Structure 1
Amino acid sequence: MTSPARNHFLRATAAQVTAAAEAANPMRHATGHELMLAQLAEHKRQLRQIQSIERKADAKRAMLPDYAAWVQGVLDSDSGLQDEVFMSVMVWHIDVGDFAGALPLAAYAIRHGLVMPDQYQRTTATLIAEEYAGMAIKAAEAGQPVDTGTLSEVATLVEDQDMPDEVRAKLHKAIGYGYIATVDTQQTAEQQQWSRKFALEHLQRALELHDKVGVKKDIERLERDIKNAAPSVAREGDGKG
């Protein structure tokens, strides 16, 4: 059993140790943003130690909650100030496949004309379009669902932004692949046909922008499927009448 005197001694000693540690801490007078930058630097250091892309994504997914309050504060303030932390977190959301979570950050960055940190070597709009497209195409090719709604919002978001035609073509390819993936999930032949037609429009636009985007066979297949499905759609329409 400890005495009041011993408790007082322990509290006083703990306070002294804490004060000494704070005095030795170079971040003791840091602002919130400086603390976030220090955390980002430490997390990036940890990520550089990971060779696996899949494991890097897992690590980023675990790190993202540490930035949630900061990012929400930036969005709420709507100040438009350049912020390396905010821009890095936006990319990480895309990297882990959180398309919907990244969208408000992307919209904010485009609206305020924020630029990417130097290591990304691309304009903000180019990076957003290319990263979204790349992740979506990868998911579609792996047979995973693709959020076509978010991809379409991204296309609208960067519509008036300058970027290489190859990048915009890749985004249209991603949307097209997303619609192809929805065909089998539709309940009626008419809905399936609309998915094919939306996919075809985006793949044709992708080909117009970049003839080596890799969609020619997909277009041929869609045109054939649309033609073959037409009688079923017509019969379904007659049955409704």
Structure 2
Amino acid sequence: MKMNSMRQHREKMLAEKALKKQQSLDPRKRQNTAVNLTDHAETIVQAAEALAGVPNVELRMFNHLNILSGLKSIQERIEKKAEWLPEYLGYIEGCLAVSPAPQNTTLVHLMIWACDANDFELAVRIAEYVVLNDMVMPEGYTRTTAEFVTEQCAEVFIDDMDLAIANASLIERIISLGEGEQIVDEVRAKIYRALGDALNQAQPMEAVTAYKNALRYNPKAGCKKDLDQLEKRLRLTANESSPDATVGSQAVPTANQNADGADPASTDAKAKE
């Protein structure tokens, strides 16, 4: 443990020295040095870990995963993940500050925990970083990062429309996360349905597009009734805002009658003058 601590301290010092040197260089020379720094991304990540005040984070994660494997209750596992997640926030921020980066399974595990704990903003932030750096899911997971996060978040939002409405912009980020990634059609349909629910009241036209996309990916997405009701609502709104043709046609003869002097009182008054 002592040797490991010394090695981490040395790598931390080297990383800090390299970063300071990079900042002091002539701007014209920084690009080449930046390339060299990316070759030591793993060392910089370890330095970020030390600076964040989370030593031996891999060991901590190993112990936590062992505890989770011994719990039979899914709800208890979720509660534990939500309890432990704040302990890793400094580490997460340190990792997200460095890119490009190599595979970081600990960080990917924390992304999964954030999904399970319904910390969607954190989960999506990590997912965007993981996809950007071509990291893969831990052993035992068959879904890709984008597919996992998309489905986990979509199902929660579909079950809670108020939550979906509050996270409309985040849902759009999740859709962007999956662009160009391997995701089954049924999962894409779920996230578009969630977007439709989120925009249904405030942005009905955009919600129609979202529902149609959901049904395009999966005709059984479960939002056909929502789409029909929304389109009916938009038609009624359009009709209410347009001029009443019947009233208009009645107004014309009345005006013509007045113009032709059909009002007897008016005719008599003019005759007396």
- Give yes or no for TM over 0.5: yes
Q: Deviations over 1:83-119 (max 9, x none)?
A: 1110011121122222212222111111111100022
Q: Deviations over 1:210-241 (max 9, x none)?
A: 11212211111111222223345669xxxxxx
Are residue 230 (structure 1) and residue 255 (structure 2) matched? no
Are residue 217 (structure 1) and residue 225 (structure 2) matched? yes
What's 2:214 paired with? Answer: 206
- Specify the SS of the correspondent of 1:160: coil
Are residue 77 (structure 1) and residue 98 (structure 2) matched? yes
CA contact (8 A) 1:95 1:135 kept: no
What's 2:85 paired with? Answer: 64
Q: Deviations over 1:51-75 (max 9, x none)?
A: 5544433322211111112211211
Calculate percent identity across the aligned residue pairs. Answer: 26
Query: Considering only CA atoms, is the larger Rg found in Structure 1 or Structure 2?
Result: 2
1:16-31 matched pairs, under 5 angstroms: none
Return the TM-score normalized by structure 2. Answer: 0.64
| In 1: Cα distance, 2:126 partner to 2:171 partner | 14
| Cα offset, 1:30, TM superposition | 9.3
What's 1:92 paired with? Answer: 113
AA at the equivalent of 1:73: G
Q: Which moved more, 1:77-86 or 1:201-210?
A: 77-86
Count matched residues. Answer: 198
Are residue 163 (structure 1) and residue 183 (structure 2) matched? yes
Unaligned runs of 5+ in 2: 9-45, 50-54, 244-273
Q: 1:223 to 1:74 in 2, by over 3 A?
A: same
- Specify the SS of the correspondent of 1:121: coil
1:174-185 matched pairs, under 5 angstroms: 174-180=194-200, 183=201
Q: Deviations over 1:198-219 (max 9, x none)?
A: 2111111010111121221111
Q: 1:221 to 1:113 in 2, by over 3 A?
A: same
| Cα offset, 1:161, TM superposition | 1.5
Unaligned runs of 5+ in 1: 1-21, 184-191, 236-241
AA at the equivalent of 1:165: D
Supply the RMSD in Å over aligned alpha carbons: 2.7
